[in-house]
Amino acid sequence: MSDRVAFLGLGAMGEPMARNLLRARGELRVWNRTAAKAEALRGLGATPCATPAEAAGGADIVMLCVPSSPEVYDLLTRPDGVLAGARPGTIVVDCSTIAPSASIQHERLCAERGVAMLEAPLSGGTVGAKAGTLTLMVGGDAAVLERVRPVLEAIGKNIFHLGGAGAGQTVKLCNNLIFAAQMVGVAEAYAILVRAGLDAAKATDVFLVSTADCTAVRQRVPVAGVQANAPASNGWAPGFATEWMAKDLHLAQEEAKALGVPCLQVSLDHQLLRIAMQMGYAKLDLSVVGKLIQDWSAGTPEPS
Amino acid sequence: MSDRVAFLGLGAMGEPMARNLLRARGELRVWNRTAAKAEALRGLGATPCATPAEAAGGADIVMLCVPSSPEVYDLLTRPDGVLAGARPGTIVVDCSTIAPSASIQHERLCAERGVAMLEAPLSGGTVGAKAGTLTLMVGGDAAVLERVRPVLEAIGKNIFHLGGAGAGQTVKLCNNLIFAAQMVGVAEAYAILVRAGLDAAKATDVFLVSTADCTAVRQRVPVAGVQANAPASNGWAPGFATEWMAKDLHLAQEEAKALGVPCLQVSLDHQLLRIAMQMGYAKLDLSVVGKLIQDWSAGTPEPS
Amino acid sequence: MSDRVAFLGLGAMGEPMARNLLRARGELRVWNRTAAKAEALRGLGATPCATPAEAAGGADIVMLCVPSSPEVYDLLTRPDGVLAGARPGTIVVDCSTIAPSASIQHERLCAERGVAMLEAPLSGGTVGAKAGTLTLMVGGDAAVLERVRPVLEAIGKNIFHLGGAGAGQTVKLCNNLIFAAQMVGVAEAYAILVRAGLDAAKATDVFLVSTADCTAVRQRVPVAGVQANAPASNGWAPGFATEWMAKDLHLAQEEAKALGVPCLQVSLDHQLLRIAMQMGYAKLDLSVVGKLIQDWSAGTPEPS
Amino acid sequence: MSDRVAFLGLGAMGEPMARNLLRARGELRVWNRTAAKAEALRGLGATPCATPAEAAGGADIVMLCVPSSPEVYDLLTRPDGVLAGARPGTIVVDCSTIAPSASIQHERLCAERGVAMLEAPLSGGTVGAKAGTLTLMVGGDAAVLERVRPVLEAIGKNIFHLGGAGAGQTVKLCNNLIFAAQMVGVAEAYAILVRAGLDAAKATDVFLVSTADCTAVRQRVPVAGVQANAPASNGWAPGFATEWMAKDLHLAQEEAKALGVPCLQVSLDHQLLRIAMQMGYAKLDLSVVGKLIQDWSAGTPEPS
């Protein structure tokens, strides 16, 4: 008999993921802090639940997707939370991006109740969530992953098992720090190009076939008009909001500190995103760091 | 009648470029500071010349490829230099990566003698030089470029016209600063992965299909054994030497300063490469910055 | 009748502070994790106690000096801790340097038991602790401070009231981040001087009467032999250990983040100290960052 | 017979220095690019000259004070410049802050004409220039310094001989990089204090007796009203303009690069001052970097 699935957290990522699960499975128990978002899926076959416990109680697999570790902890441990409702043998799949140490703690809390937990942070953004082509970076027991893999294939194209609890989160944070480094490099490069009066579109053509090629060049040139779908051409609409990347870079630094790894560039990039946030750009796509540096470049050069 | 071509500077990049020109054209006037390198091409049809002036005197197109602007200046202006030998109407193509301001100055020196100059810095490294698949970032007169394009197609697959003198150099420096940013991000990420005891090869598989995807991930994972052709698996043999990237980041900063663009990340990355140089890694591939950060990560974490 | 005082935590700072209190007051209840250190003070009139609760139970004022907030929390809340033994009306004075948010939390825990808490982080190092000339940066109720001021004057020369709970910690962290900035600046300057072959002692004479003048120049020139009492002339013995300054810079960053203040330099200095720690310098005086940069400067300069 | 002295460059520093020389010596040959400034000193006994050559021709000692090395070079070598007018045996004292390598080059140009040159960059700002209490960091021949010392004592209280040509400039740059490090640390600390709602004046009292004590705390607290004479209380009037400190940090980096010394903090501080310049603060006192960071701190903190 098929596994029954519950999905908790219908935000910008979770909502389209839930729709893909509904499309694939016909049914889904759903819960969201704001109940209206859960109700909205009823017409597609979803069963809105009043509490996380109720959602989990009728499910074999419980998926979570919320913004940060205190919310995961709360969803799991509140009096009407997942662990209050879940039967032993239930599997929790947490798609949130949080600190590896927090994820390890959550896995232990679940294990104490006989519940298995996988972490499965995502890459691919809202575009990938809608298309069902997300990348999942899974940490936890490999056999448990094989058990839930058919369910996860409704939301993701690439499902990687990376190690025990924490491993998926660590790889996710590393992925994001590399992406942030690209983005800041791209921001500085285009600020130079713009001030030099060069053609940003032509330069982009070069970068795409040279060593500069990277996701940030392919998707997020920070000059309006160069790429029709880039945030810069669409009022810096995310995409991936600056404040969330700032959060991830903070987590990456905490992980680096715990491991004894000095990370100068992550640390700098974090501060740059924080300056962007303080300029009012927190909710805009992280490529807005390009605007920040171009804003700084409108004055006069220093004396030599 | 076909243009006669001279090639000056048979270093790690120039030598395979000259071979490709010889293969395509059957003949080539060559000069190199160390004459033996020029002599070695005689068997392939090359005509070694005693001085830059002699090489230029019998050529319609004179190509240069040397490490830095003082050497370009010297090649052009010395008593037995290019401008002493070149007839009016000759075209100089300088493939060196140098400061845009220096390139603009060189173009003026040429113009005073009736010689046209294009700058055409390269991307693609020694691998691209051998394969004849380099990217050329051309600055200078567009009509002059069309005149020499058939010659350049023997060495490069992608030939971009980016604007007047200086434009090619600026785009090249921007390309390299983005690449350096990727590389430092990759260095920090893999130091975290290694210290966390995770499988670097599996993480690489994730990065290649996620936002971390970039040239540095594709070609230069800084952990031995993950990629057979990466410098890390081959004793950090370049590739692209740390000292040359340091030079380019310095030029990028000077250009940014002249334009009034604050560039915090380029500035940091430059310092990191300089530390790597001071550790004795100057001649090694720039991915050795990954080793630098892993070296720093062998101790104990700080108290909390 | 005079207040009875207890002192908990006889480390590098706490031990000489306890001696000064004993000298001034003739008696002192003492407790330390390693009991031998408490026993060693018996001859001076101290009363060693078996538990924090026992020490607090017989005291009107309970002073704490431990390395970090988990230890303060533990001392207060453990079953045989301060709050288990203290009567309502007792005053706790915490001399530890910890996060302002943690200190605020501790004050609330105390208040729930009718115990008043002051934070009083210190400046002056082991030298000031021995001489009784420490600076105390007090946060908490002003009237409570006036009540305990006579006791504190046995250990400190400058006792400042800076605001409510958290204010003293915040000022302390700000003090330390300025000191760290001086120290890193001094480290870079002397690395330049040494490599340039200049006389570091003469340069120091200049700095002491110029804008470079600061505590780091006065006490911690990172070249052996320039200052007889500086750590550099004494095998980098602390003074103020690198790992503790790293801790404080981390706390400063967390505070800055909570307040929405981007702090690029603190962030960089933190990473530099962490690199020093990873080189094995964690227990050495923070001026060892000067050695770190001189170590980096032994190689060859980059090509230009 | 007494040495005849000429003074070239009557800017913000040079003009009050010339007045002190006039006061001490009764006479002075003066030249300035804008002649009116030289004429204005005629009433005090000065002899305005039409060209640098004319000023130098009648002098035994020629003092220069201009903003940057191209101007020093021009003053020395132009057709009507110092070296065109000076007799062999003349002594040039250059008080400008410039690159050590440029100063060494200038000394050689002078030596070719039989003219001795000392570099003597200054510390003390316009306040010290007016009071005649400048610090002079002299590089060049020690015997030549002894010959001119009586003249220099009219402008400076502390006259240090630091080594041969370049040594004075190097020490000056090191002094300024330490001062900049203090200033950025102070900027970050007070941004935290202001956002935390604490009393900046009380915190300053603490810093002045703690390890944070430094010139930046003593003279340049970046909060209006704390110190009556600080730039922050006077519309950020310099003092020491941001653009000039940016210039000096650039020179310090070039010197560090030439010597093979990685300098991460100088590099960061340079970028911060450049951002301040781009915000329109170039002519304001460098303590305006405190305003820059406070400007960044007005928004909302990042999610955790």
Q: What is the CA radius of gyration of chain B?
A: 21
Nearest residue, CB atoms, A274 vs list C262, C270, C271: C262
Taking CB atoms and an 8 Å limit, are A271 and C267 in contact across chains? yes
Taking CB atoms and an 8 Å limit, are D278 and B260 in contact across chains? yes
Mean pLDDT across chain C, nearest whole number?
95
Sequence letter at residue D222: P
- Distance, in angstroms, between D282 CA and closest chain B CA? 12
Distance between CA D158 and CA C257 in Å, rounded?
Answer: 43
Taking CB atoms and an 8 Å limit, are B268 and D270 in contact across chains? no
Q: Is the pLDDT of residue C105 over 80?
A: yes
Mutation target to probe the B interface, by most B beta carbons within 10 A, among D251, D266, D271 is D271
Which pLDDT score is estimated for B125?
86
Distance between CA D13 and CA A152 in Å, rounded?
Answer: 72
Quick one: three-class SS letters along A140-206? CCHHHHHHHHHHHCCCEEEEEEEECCCHHHHHHHHHHHHHHHHHHHHHHHHHHHHHCCCCHHHHHHH
- Distance, in angstroms, between A200 CA and closest chain C CA? 28
Taking CB atoms and an 8 Å limit, are B195 and A259 in contact across chains? yes
DSSP string, chain C: -PPPEEEE--STTHHHHHHHHHHHHS-EEEE-SSHHHHHTTGGGTEEE-SSHHHHHHT-SEEEE--SSHHHHHHHHHSTTSHHHHPPTT-EEEE-----HHHHHHHHHHHHHTT-EEEE--EESHHHHHHHT-EEEEEES-HHHHHHHHHHHTTTEEEEEEEESTTHHHHHHHHHHHHHHHHHHHHHHHHHHHHHTT--HHHHHHHHHTSTT-BHHHHH--SSTTSSTTSGGGGTT--SSBHHHHHHHHHHHHHHHHHHT---HHHHHHHHHHHHHIIIIITTSBGGGHHHHHHHTTSS-PPP-
Tokens found for residue B75: 């090649």
- Which residues on D lie below 8 Å from A304 (Cβ)? 68, 70, 247, 250
- The domains of chain C, with CATH numbers, are 5-164 (3.40.50.720), 170-295 (1.10.1040.10)
Confidence band, pLDDT 50/70/90 cuts, at residue A298 = confident
Distance between CA C38 and CA C6 in Å, rounded?
Answer: 12
Distance between CA C132 and CA C151 in Å, rounded?
Answer: 12
Choice among B37, B130, B157, B172 that is catalytic: B172
Q: Is the dihedral of CA D74, D76, D80, D84 positive or negative?
A: negative
- Distance, in angstroms, between B255 CA and closest chain D CA? 13
Q: Record the pTM.
A: 0.94
Quick one: three-class SS letters along A218-265? HHCCCCCCCCCCCHHHHCCCCCCEHHHHHHHHHHHHHHHHHHCCCCHH
Confidence band, pLDDT 50/70/90 cuts, at residue A256 = very high
Taking CB atoms and an 8 Å limit, are D171 and C301 in contact across chains? no
- Distance, in angstroms, between D230 CA and closest chain A CA? 24
- Which residues on A lie below 8 Å from D277 (Cβ)? 299-300, 302
Nearest residue, CB atoms, C198 vs list D167, D210, D296: D167
Interface of A with D (CB under 8 A): 67-68, 70, 243-244, 246-247, 250, 264, 274-275, 277-280, 282, 296-300, 302-304
Residues in chain A: 304
- Which residues on A lie below 8 Å from C262 (Cβ)? 271, 274-275, 278
Instruction: Label the pairing between strands B116-119 and B122-123.
Output: unpaired
Name the nearest CA neighbour of A203 among B134, B100, B165, B171: B171
A·D CB contacts under 8 A: 61
Distance between CA B295 and CA D202 in Å, rounded?
Answer: 44
Nearest residue, CB atoms, C274 vs list A262, A270, A277: A262
Tokens found for residue D231: 């730039």
HSE of D202, CA atoms in CB hemisphere, 13 A = 19
Q: Which stretches of D238-281 are DSSP H helices? A: 242-259, 264-276
Q: Is the pLDDT of residue A300 over 80?
A: no
**Which helix (H) or strand (E) segment is B244 a member of?**
helix B242-259
Taking CB atoms and an 8 Å limit, are B198 and A255 in contact across chains? no
Tell me the percentage of chain C whose pLDDT exceeds 70: 98
- Which residues on B lie below 8 Å from A205 (Cβ)? 160
Give Cα B262 distance to the centre of its chain.
24
- Which residues on C lie below 8 Å from A259 (Cβ)? none
Confidence band, pLDDT 50/70/90 cuts, at residue A2 = confident
Interface of D with A (CB under 8 A): 67-68, 70, 243-244, 246-247, 250, 264, 274-275, 277-280, 282, 296-300, 302-304
Distance between CA A40 and CA D54 in Å, rounded?
Answer: 90
- Which residues on A lie below 8 Å from D250 (Cβ)? 302, 304
What pLDDT digit, counting tens, does each position of D109-132 carry?
Answer: 999 999 999 999 999 888 899 999
Q: Mean pLDDT, to the nearest integer, of C5-34?
A: 97
Q: Is the pLDDT of residue C302 over 50?
A: no
Q: Specify whether A172 is catalytic.
A: yes
Mean pLDDT across chain B, nearest whole number?
95
Are the C-beta atoms of A80 and A111 separated by less than 8 Å? no
What pLDDT digit, counting tens, does each position of A136-195 carry?
Answer: 999 999 999 999 999 999 999 999 999 999 999 999 999 999 999 999 999 999 999 999
Residue D261: CB atoms within 10 A of its CB come to: 28
Phi and psi (nearest 5°) for B63? -100, 140
- Distance, in angstroms, between B99 CA and closest chain C CA? 11
Taking CB atoms and an 8 Å limit, are C250 and B298 in contact across chains? no
A·C CB contacts under 8 A: 32
Which distant-in-sequence residues (6+ apart) come within 8 Å of A261 by Cβ? Answer: B188, B191, B192, B195, B293, B296, B297
Are the C-beta atoms of D155 and D21 separated by less than 8 Å? yes
Q: Is the pLDDT of residue C258 over 80?
A: yes
Interface of B with D (CB under 8 A): 250, 257, 260, 262-264, 267-268, 270-271, 274-275, 277-278
Tokens found for residue B234: 């081959």
Query: Under DSSP, is residue D259 helix (H, G, I), strand (E, B) or coil?
Result: helix
Query: Under DSSP, is residue B139 helix (H, G, I), strand (E, B) or coil?
Result: strand
Confidence band, pLDDT 50/70/90 cuts, at residue B302 = very low
Taking CB atoms and an 8 Å limit, are C302 and B274 in contact across chains? yes
Mutation target to probe the B interface, by most B beta carbons within 10 A, among D255, D259, D264, D277 is D264
Query: Under DSSP, is residue B147 helix (H, G, I), strand (E, B) or coil?
Result: helix
Taking CB atoms and an 8 Å limit, are B189 and A177 in contact across chains? yes
Name the nearest CA neighbour of A11 among A28, A44, A34: A34
Q: What are the per-10-residue average pLDDT scores of chain D (304 residues)?
A: 91 96 97 96 96 97 96 97 97 97 97 98 91 97 98 97 98 98 98 97 97 97 97 95 96 96 97 95 97 83 47
Distance between CA D271 and CA D249 in Å, rounded?
Answer: 9
Tokens found for residue B296: 């720093």
Residue C193: CB atoms within 10 A of its CB come to: 25
Which pLDDT score is estimated for C2?
82
- Distance, in angstroms, between D56 CA and closest chain A CA? 27
Return the beta strands (E) in D127-261 as ranges.
134-139, 156-163
- Which residues on B lie below 8 Å from C250 (Cβ)? 302, 304
- Which residues on A lie below 8 Å from B188 (Cβ)? 177, 181, 256, 261, 263-266
- Which residues on C lie below 8 Å from D167 (Cβ)? 196, 198
Which pLDDT score is estimated for B303?
52
Q: Is the pLDDT of residue B279 over 80?
A: yes
Angle between helices B264-276 and A167-195 (to 10 degrees): 110
Tokens found for residue C180: 């760290």
Taking CB atoms and an 8 Å limit, are D304 and A67 in contact across chains? no
Name the nearest CA neighbour of C263 among D245, B261, A287, D184: D184
Q: Give partners of B (≥3 CB pairs < 8 A).
A: A, C, D
Taking CB atoms and an 8 Å limit, are B263 and D250 in contact across chains? no
Q: Is the pLDDT of residue B14 over 80?
A: yes
- Distance, in angstroms, between C130 CA and closest chain B CA? 25
Distance between CA C16 and CA B105 in Å, rounded?
Answer: 68
Which pLDDT score is estimated for A302?
47
Phi and psi (nearest 5°) for A155? -115, -20
Taking CB atoms and an 8 Å limit, are D302 and A264 in contact across chains? no
ipTM over 0.90: yes
Q: Mean pLDDT, to the nearest integer, of C206-233?
A: 97
Q: Is the pLDDT of residue C299 over 90?
A: no
Q: Give partners of D (≥3 CB pairs < 8 A).
A: A, B, C
Taking CB atoms and an 8 Å limit, are A267 and C267 in contact across chains? yes
Closest chain C residue by Cα to residue D196: C259
Closest chain A residue by Cα to residue D299: A278
